[in-house]
Structure 1
Amino acid sequence: MTLETKWIRYGKNEEYVGYMAKMDRVNENLPAIIVIQEIWGVDAHIQDVAERFAQAGYLAFAPDLYAKNGCRIEDLKAERVEEVKSFMDSLPHSVWNNPAEREKALDELEEGKRNRVTKTFETMFGGLNSAHYIEELLETSRFLREECKASKGQGVVSVGFCMGGALSGLLSSRDPQLKGAAIFYGNPPSTEELKNINCPVYGFYGDLDKRISEHVPNFAEQMKKQGKSFEYQIYPNTQHAFFNDTRSAYNVESARDAYQKVLQFFSQVLK
């Protein structure tokens, strides 16, 4: 059986767009997985992840958080994002969070490219606009439960990566009908948001990703105190973005184990 993949417009005024993947001969009664993008958008990797979940028997849907009314602004167009990704991949990972070293590397670029990379970088990394993105994710969840023919009436879960991981956790506190949320190397919800989590949560982290992984034990303790369900894996000798097989941080053993566990998790919460 082959996959059906396509871009879907949805929302009250069709203001949102997302990448949908499902088995092509199955048109109803599919539980749905919202696949929430990394900072790089719904790129080839995120589309591939959605297709993997579709091959596992789900309807997978990746909302393009950078698109409004079907289009991206100039600074966030795919080719501009790829230009930033290529620039960042050319640097040692230690430079990513070192503004001075990053600026030094930018100064070595040709002027036009330097200006494009700087502007797109600032637009992408200027702060997580969670209040804006969460409304789109809530509409995505509602659309999949109530309007999408293939998943109408079925359960919905979420999985997100990096920026999307943080948004997956946030969605679990805002959508009372969400069945489960998986967080891949994303920041945990705030203490106040955590109190409103409505479903089981599973987290996947790399132990070398200290900026995020060092906060996980406290997140687990807070979840326990609030009577929430939270499981997690911190993989040894594993970096941030370990699940992304297009990046240098990819760790095949950790990614393989996490994929198996997240599928088991979704199977359990969607029963």
Structure 2
Amino acid sequence: MTQKPDPADIPQEVFELYDAYCHGDLSRRAFFSGLSKYAVGGLTVTSLAACVMPDYGKQQTQPGADGLYEETLVYSSPNGAGEMEGYFVRPAGAEQTLPGIVVIHENRGLNPHIRDVTRRAAQAGYVAFAPDALYPLGGYPGTDDEGRAMQATRDRESMVQDFMAAADFLRGHAAVNGKVGCVGFCFGGAVANLMAVRQPWLSAAVPYYGGWPTAEEAADVKVPLQIHLAGLDDRVNGGWPAYKAALDENRAEYEAYIYPGVNHGFHNDTTPRYDAEAAELAWARTVEFFSLHLG
């Protein structure tokens, strides 16, 4: 019988291996090979891997949550793919139109965690819409490993355009009052940053630990930004000082928070990278920011 490690006892190097694997810098074989160094004291490579992989049974809100209306909607893709699909959630029984929020997934498709975040956005009083970039390929396949491999086959710019089209679609939906913001995580954070550059009509954008636009693109940011970064995330944080300087030079409206001692993906409560204190504070700030800019 193998011992399952307590997440608090996982060496930081294991999280870094997982981060490299998640973002395509390590193959699956190299990831498991790297874990073998830490399989000591009764731990096995399998148990270590299982501990850092997502457990979607931990999601905070379940499908069919009370007070929410949910459906799957199709919208037009600008990329020759014909159409896209997304998960649409709003407060049930709303008698007036509401602001909308596009929720942008990580680099593995519309998995159960991002659906959960979409429901949380609706519980906060918004019409939330989460597109699945994997829809043209058959949709999220059921596991993050497969989803990650599938998403890597799609052109990045085409996916950005599909998420931008989702914002346009949401702005025109009968349940939405015309005000739309976006929130994204990892790959989705990078997309949220780009949407703030390319869609100046957006009311707000909230990227979590995503990649950065260029300094030249920062000159085009007219959308209020709230940026969330993990203190231990050297890969993403390395680009922040240059982008911050460009935002400052162009007098962009933004606020940024760096949460010390937490890993990339700290908001995802289905993995041991989750940090409850940082995640709860970041989400409270996100909701307050949307309330300020979307009403």
Q: Which of the five TM-score ranges fits, normalised by the shorter chain?
A: 0.7 to 0.9
Kept in 2, the 8 Å contact 1:213–1:234? The answer is: no
Q: Where in structure 2 are there 5+ consecutive unaligned residues?
A: 1-65
Under a length normalisation based on structure 2, what TM-score does the superposition of the two structures give? 0.72
Kept in 1, the 8 Å contact 2:104–2:189? The answer is: yes
Equivalence for 2:170: 144
| Pairs within 5 Å for 1:149-168 | 149-151=174-176, 153-168=177-192
Counterparts of 2:244 and 2:86, CA distance in 1: 32
Equivalence for 2:43: none
Structure 2 letter corresponding to 1:201: L
Structure 1 pair 188/27, CA: closer, same or farther in 2 (3 Å)?
farther
Equivalence for 1:33: 101
Counterparts of 1:125 and 1:199, CA distance in 2: 29
Structure 2 letter corresponding to 1:176: P
Equivalence for 1:95: none
Counterparts of 2:130 and 2:148, CA distance in 1: 22
Moved more, 191-200 or 2-11: 191-200
How much has 1:31 moved relative to structure 2? Answer: 0.1
Counterparts of 2:152 and 2:82, CA distance in 1: 27
Identity %: 31
Moved more, 190-199 or 33-42: 190-199
1:10 aligned to 2:75? yes
- 3-state SS of 1:217 partner: helix
How much has 1:196 moved relative to structure 2? Answer: 1.4
Counterparts of 1:140 and 1:28, CA distance in 2: 21
Under a length normalisation based on structure 1, what TM-score does the superposition of the two structures give? 0.78
How much has 1:158 moved relative to structure 2? Answer: 0.4
1:134 aligned to 2:150? no
Structure 1 pair 269/50, CA: closer, same or farther in 2 (3 Å)?
same
Kept in 2, the 8 Å contact 1:158–1:180? The answer is: yes
| Pairs within 5 Å for 1:77-92 | 77-79=140-142, 81-82=143-144, 84=145
Kept in 1, the 8 Å contact 2:131–2:166? The answer is: yes
Counterparts of 2:279 and 2:268, CA distance in 1: 8
Please provide the CA RMSD for this pair: 2.0
State which of 134, 150, 154 in structure 2 corresponds to 1:66: 134
Q: Where in structure 1 are there 5+ consecutive unaligned residues?
A: 85-116
Moved segments of 4+, more than 4 Å: 120-123
- 3-state SS of 1:181 partner: strand
